[in-house]
Structure 1
Amino acid sequence: MKRIPVCEVIDQRPVVDKDLPRPSSVFRPLTGDVCHIVLTELRIPSSTMNCGLFEEFRDDWRPIKAHIKVGEADCTVDRGLQAVVLEMRPGEYRDFCVGDGGEGRISGRVFLSYVDKTSRTSWRDDDRLKLTAAARHKDAGNQLYGQGRFADAFHRFNLAVRAVLFVRDPDAVRADRDAMYAVVCNNMAACQLQMSNYEHAHQLSGKVLAVEPDNVKALVRRCRASAELRMFDGALADAVRALEIDPGNVVAERYRDVATRGVNDQNARYGDMVKKMFAA
């Protein structure tokens, strides 16, 4: 099963230097805050892939001013830098080394100059704002999926589903909540299928079907995951149900045939085993 790294922080440590000013605040950034940073001493090997925020600075040795909005990072190295900054206070310096989820590494020094705080009271109390945030993360995930960045898309969809799950009064927004939950879990299942994580794809499709039992995409995705896991009885049942709802669905037809052959082969092997048992 392919690991989906949220981030890879290899090392981080506060810079201890008596000549540097002390941090100006005891408060650390939170999700939604905009952090204004300065990056220096960057080392970005040519082997490092998908450098995100760092890409345009690959060959630039000058101090770099940038800003990041906590919770909006869309690649492994950016999420790593975000994790480092979340541990900092305004006015603090840190040396860091983050990975790209593979063999690539980026290291340097980051200075958190100041933080624009975002009000969370309205978001915490307003379920409509949570659904709006979920829709925004979903749209960002769809763009990443279209670029073939399935792990990064999965993380965006995961942020969307978490916003949905934090709804305080589900009954008041039941229809919109369930619809968003189903779409996002379906998209997460699609990501897992692309990365051959069939057990997770099966579970996520099941979550969709618990809310929308006749969701054809979820039926087909669970069918495919079941077939890859050699759970042919379940795959066949999902394929048949999907074709009842959407006759002519090409993917459902293909996996129905795969599941039928799998069930027949398993039954034949079981029959042979029983014969051998009684023959002995």
Structure 2
Amino acid sequence: MFSLEVCETLKGELHELLNKDCNLGSDDNKFLNYVAILDNPKTSSGLAKSWKEEGNSLFSHGDIDDALEYYGFAGVMLSLIVLEEEGAASFCELAFYILLNLAACFLKKNEFDQVGLLCYVVLTFDPCNVKALFRRAKASVGIRRCDLAYWDLLPASKIDPSNKEIAKKLNEV
């Protein structure tokens, strides 16, 4: 689905997005860099997956700040691993999940600019990603830009016409 070149570009976006103004301490950075240079990139991506799953658990229990931290660690880890052709598609899929989960956290915190930025990155690589369109639309509603929300909800409703949440939000907008 995604070439190694596209995944490398996504990795660069992920690195820029999550490492800029990152609140990681020096010990955190040392650990992440150590894990990133392991001989087996599957080990690093496995660690990123486990951090994503821990973030999911925290999010489902309402612990948004800690979920953000775990998703952030997972994303930073992904941005540091060495990509191989065989793992390119799974890398992109995991990166999208992490970015969209971060966006869900920022929606809960009403940090709508962050949501828009994260969803923009996902949509740059996957323009038909319904979750990214829907979350960015919700962020647009949050900043009272229903016109922008409409332009995300319209294609989302065409991609997933049975999605009742999208239809409801589209009617509201």
1:130 maps onto 2:41 in alignment: no
Secondary structure in 2 matching 1:168: coil
1:140 counterpart residue number: 54
Write out aligned runs for 1:237-276 (5 A). 237-259=151-173
1:153 is aligned, of 55, 67, 72, to 67
One-letter amino acid matched to 2:44: K
Q: Does the CA-based 8 Å contact 2:48-2:75 persist in structure 1?
A: yes
Identify which of 88, 91, 107 aligns with 1:177: 91
Secondary structure of the 1:214 match is coil
TM-score (norm 2): 0.76
For 1:236 and 1:248, how far apart are their aligned partners in 2? 17
Distance 1:145 1:121, change over 3 A: closer
Report sequence identity in percent. 26
- 1:227 is matched with which residue? 141
Q: Counterpart amino acid of 1:229?
A: I
Whole-Å separation in 2 of the counterparts to 1:225 and 1:257: 16
Q: Give yes or no for contact 1:202–1:222 (8 Å, CA) kept in 2.
A: yes
- 8 Å CA contact 1:227, 1:255 repeated in 2: no
Distance 1:212 1:244, change over 3 A: same
Structure 1 unaligned blocks of 5 or more: 1-5, 8-28, 34-69, 72-119, 260-280
Q: Which residue of 2 aligns with 1:10?
A: none
- C-alpha distance in structure 2 between counterparts of 1:150 and 1:170, whole Å: 33
Deviation sequence 1:173-196 (CA, Å, 0-9, x none): 210110000001000000000111
Following TM superposition, by how much is the alpha carbon of 1:135 offset from its aligned partner in structure 2, in angstroms? 0.2
Note the C-alpha offset of 1:210.
2.0
Please tell me whether the aligned partners of residues 37 and 81 of structure 2 are also in contact (alpha carbons under 8 angstroms).
Answer: no
| TM-score with structure 1 setting the length | 0.48
Larger radius of gyration: 1
The AA in structure 1 aligned to 2:172 is: V
- Alpha-carbon distance in structure 1 between the residues aligned to 2:85 and 2:75: 17
Q: Which has the higher contact order (CA 8 A, sep 6+)?
A: 2
Aligned to 1:210: 124
Which secondary structure state, in structure 1, belongs to the residue aligned with residue 161 of structure 2? coil
User: Cα offset for 1:236?
Assistant: 0.7
**1:127, distance to aligned residue in structure 2 (A):** 1.7
CA contact (8 A) 2:113 2:139 kept: yes
Q: Partners in 2 of 1:220 and 1:166 — Cα distance?
A: 29
The structure-2 alpha-carbon separation of the partners of 1:139 and 1:121, relative to structure 1 and needing over 3 Å to count, comes to closer
1:69-106 CA-to-partner distances (Å, cap 9, x unmatched) read x78xxxxxxxxxxxxxxxxxxxxxxxxxxxxxxxxxxx
* Paired amino acid for 1:181: A
Contact 1:138 1:184 in 2 (8 A): yes
CA distance in 2, matches of 1:170, 1:258: 44
TM-fit CA distance, 1:172: 4.5
Contact 1:243 1:249 in 2 (8 A): yes
Once residues 143 and 36 of structure 2 are traced to their aligned partners in structure 1, the CA distance between those partners, rounded to angstroms, is 45
The whole-number CA distance in structure 2 between the counterparts of 1:258 and 1:199 is 21
**Higher normalized strand content (fraction of residues):** 1
